Amino acid sequence: MISIAEQLKDLFSQALVAFMGEEGRNVDPLIRPAGEERFGDYQSNVAMSLAKRLGAKPRDVAAKIREHLLAEPTATELCESFALAGPGFINIRLSAGWMAGQLAAIPAAAPRGADRLGIEPVAAPQTVVVDYSSPNIAKQMHVGHLRSTIIGDVIARVIGFEGHRVIRQNHVGDWGTQFGVLCAHLKEKMPTALDRPADVHLADLEAFYREASLRDEEDAAFHERARAEVVALHNQDESTLRAWRYIVDESRRHYLPVYQRLGVLLTQADERGESFYADRLADVVAWFERARQITAPAGLFPDGAMLRVEESDGALCIFFVTASGEPMFKNPQGKPFPMIVRKSDGAFLYATTDLAAVRFRVFELGADRVIYVTDARQAQHFEMVFTAVRAAGWTSREAGSAEVKLDHVTFGTILGEDRKPLKTRSGENVRLADLLDEAVRRAEAMIRANEADPDKRRGFSEAEIRDVAEAVGIGAVKYADLSQNRQVDYVFSWDRMLAMEGNTAPYLMYAYARIRSIYRKGAGDNRGEWSVESGDRGQATEDRKQATGVVITLTEPAERMLGRQILRFAETIESVAAGLRINLLTDYLYELAGLFMKFYEQCPVLRAGTDEVRASRLRLCDLTARTMRSGLDLLGIRVVERM
């Protein structure tokens, strides 16, 4: 299946070619979902944009396009009507019969994570690197890492679903002078960690880090030893490397379980930290040093802009200058703001590593696109890195080949009720592990309260209570975040994210469980039609029996609306991927759940008038559940069968 929006676009393109010749192919048909239900399902504004160019009245242009559409059998099969409206809109009403046919053609369910609902992968898959999470080693993950981790994960899932080859990269901060301090401290405080690293563990990474930094500040002799450790690390001294490796491993023991709990797909294999690039940095810097001055290739940034590689106070800097000699980046005092790639003491920096990483990703991983997910404070850093590598020509693998696309996906801050960045009561960073514990604890309390209420009780076993609480608690935290426009700050609120009403994970998960229970009842009447198993814990086998031969009818308005929404899943994913805007998916799912509830109110399923209608409606239930499960799966949120 190709999304409805894409199919309409194709039909309009054909009509535009028929109307104005080959150049019509390059005109965007401007197809949008209709603003209001009574206007139809979609609308095209193309006539308005074309009229000026053609020197005609928009309404006349629209009428011509419509004529060509009506002459095209595929167009009249897909659509019931094309109506002219206003100054020159074309309102499109889809054919219910065609939609029903599309729904009926959706193949049987595949297991969770592999259920494509008939949506075809892209025709030209790309290799896309997604750089996300990327915590700094030797620190506990705190709430500041939540957004990069879950937003990046959803982006990777959505792009993968589209059919692209995704390479996840966890660019952990595992290199730099602080490791001299940590290694020196470890060698003195816990020498056994070097001999028996498997048995000795750091209970509190954060405390260890603090202790080490404090000593570094207060004890001059220690400071000297720490500096010597940095040199030893660069020279690959065996005992220092062992200390370093121990610290990296201990950090990983803290963050891998957090990923797992969050349902984030990152594994150790995706880790390619800053240390990986250490022995490539000198070469990167030498390249720029040799180039001295680089004029940017045309079209990549302002005409005539250039890079100047110069020493300033002993540090090697890249200055970005426009054609008129103005700095492209300025510091708050208005002075030229360069990207430093080597400090006066010879040390390389965060930026140097990112230059090396782009080169590696483009030339060795074969990336066609690289997506970085970090908070908005790094916007300027990435702007400089992107500008430098584009100028250097590192974003095209060979002369004339397509430019590698570099995207920085930013997000705002999570705020507390006081509208300041979320902290614990004592003013510390909230540890991510603690936050997740709290979420599950609250979800569990909610479920236990329901179980105590005779009207709400489900009769869960202890194991089920814990399983559902885990899914709901973690799902609530993730969904509350992912359903925001990522660029804005948002206030963290337990009550809001755990509410059973509104655009929340519990509401959607409950809706899913409810649909599944209706479906189970229907299937229990021995029609053998149910196709979805959440199958998340690996124990449930997929029942591949499907409702083959079931004819779907979309007669009632509520059926039609629900059916159309299910079919819109494909274009929702397209829009999410196009703008890397995840809240379009959460909005879609919320709307889907709402339309299902309306459908269920207005259209009896189990007690439908005829067997045919009953089977059709049951199939709509099944497709709704599958779509919700797939959508939530793209968000990395697990559904439960009962709630």
| CA atoms within 13 A of residue 270's CA, in its CB half-sphere | 22
List the beta strands (DSSP E) in 502-573. Answer: none
Please tell me the distance from the alpha carbon of residue 523 to that of residue 531, in angstroms, as a whole number: 10
According to DSSP, the residues that pair with 33 across neighbouring strands are 42
Query: Look-up: residue for tokens 């200058």?
Result: 321
Residue from the set 275, 374, 503, 616 that interacts with ligand ARG by CB under 6 A: 374
Which residue among 13, 95, 136, 424 contacts ligand ARG (CB under 6 A)?
136
The CA distance from 355 to 280, in Å, is 10
CB of 317 to ligand ARG, least distance (A): 19
Q: Which of 173, 184, 279, 282 is nearest to 227 (CA)?
A: 184
Q: How is residue 621 written in tokens?
A: 């239930």
In the numeric block, the tokens 């450790």 are attached to 229
Distance of closest approach, residue 257 Cβ to ligand ARG, in angstroms: 19
Q: How far is the CB of 138 from ligand ARG (least distance, A)?
A: 12
Whether the CA torsion 353, 158, 369, 407 is positive or negative: it is negative
Q: Describe the chain by its helix, strand, coil percentages, rounded to 5.
A: 50, 10, 35
Per-residue tokens: 591: 């709307």
CA 486 centroid distance within chain: 10
Q: Which is nearer to ligand ARG, 281 or 509 (CB)?
A: 281
Q: Does 173 participate in binding ligand ARG (rule CB under 6 A)?
A: yes
Selected range binding ligand ARG among 83-91, 131-139, 211-219, 300-308, rule: CB under 6 A: 131-139
Interaction of residue 171 with ligand ARG, rule CB under 6 A: yes
- Do 83 and 41 contact (CB within 8 A), yes or no? no
Size of the site for ligand ARG (CB under 6 A): 9
Nearer residue to ligand ARG within complex by CB, 196 or 377: 377
Q: How far is the CB of 275 from ligand ARG (least distance, A)?
A: 12
Region binding ligand ARG by CB under 6 A among candidate stretches 2-10, 129-137, 242-250, 333-341: 129-137
Which is nearer to ligand ARG, 271 or 354 (by Cβ)? 354
**Which 8-state DSSP code applies to residue 426?**
T
Shortest Å, Cβ 336 to ligand ARG: 23
* Residues in region 6-45 near ligand ARG by CB under 6 A: none
Contact pick of 41, 131, 162, 536 for ligand ARG (by CB under 6 A): 131
What's the CA gap between 419 and 409, in Å, rounded? 23
Nearer to ligand ARG, 133 or 240 (CB): 133
Site string for ligand ARG, 334-353 (x = CB under 6 A): --------------------
Number of other residues whose CB lies within 10 A of the CB of residue 434:
13
- Give me the least distance between CB of 205 and ligand ARG, in Å please: 15
Give Cα separations from 475 to 12, 314, 498, 636 (angstroms).
Answer: 41, 51, 9, 8
- Shortest separation between residue 168's beta carbon and ligand ARG, angstroms: 12
Q: Does 168 bind ligand ARG (CB under 6 A)?
A: no
Query: Least distance in Å: CB of 385 to ligand ARG?
Result: 8
Distance separating alpha carbons of residues 147 and 461, to the nearest angstrom:
33
Q: Shortest gap between Cβ of 5 and ligand ARG (angstroms)?
A: 33
Query: Which one, of 167, 458, 211, lies nearest residue 449 by Cα?
Result: 458
Q: Which stretch binds ligand ARG (CB under 6 A): 38-46, 130-138, 507-515, 614-622?
A: 130-138
Beta strands in 86-132 (DSSP E): 89-94, 127-131
As given in the structure block, the two tokens for residue 262 are: 């969050």
Site for ligand ARG in 537-576 (CB under 6 A): none
Residues 6+ apart with CB under 8 A from 636: 150, 153, 154, 157, 262, 263, 264, 265, 478
Residue 406 C-beta: closest distance to ligand ARG, Å: 11
> Is 354 a binder of ligand ARG (CB under 6 A)?
yes
In the bound state, the residue with its beta carbon closest to ligand ARG is: 134
Residue closer to ligand ARG, measured from CB, 162 or 174 = 174
| Closest to ligand ARG by CB, 327 or 412 | 412
CA distances from 430 to 35, 140, 427, 477, 497 (A): 42, 10, 9, 14, 18
Closer to ligand ARG by Cβ: residue 99 or 406 = 406
Q: Which stretch binds ligand ARG (CB under 6 A): 128-136, 218-226, 242-250, 510-518?
A: 128-136
357 binds ligand ARG (CB under 6 A): yes
Binding residue (CB under 6 A) for ligand ARG from 134, 352, 483, 504? 134
Nearer residue to ligand ARG within complex by CB, 117 or 357: 357
d(CA 498, CA 280) in angstroms, rounded, equals 47
Q: Of 632, 529, 640, which is closest to residue 154 (Cα–Cα)?
A: 632
Q: Are 406 and 370 in contact (CB under 8 A)?
A: yes
Position 429 contacts ligand ARG (CB under 6 A): no
Site for ligand ARG in 65-94 (CB under 6 A): none
Does 147 bind ligand ARG (CB under 6 A)? Our answer is no
Chain residues in the site for ligand ARG (CB under 6 A) = 131, 134, 136, 171, 173, 354, 357, 372, 374
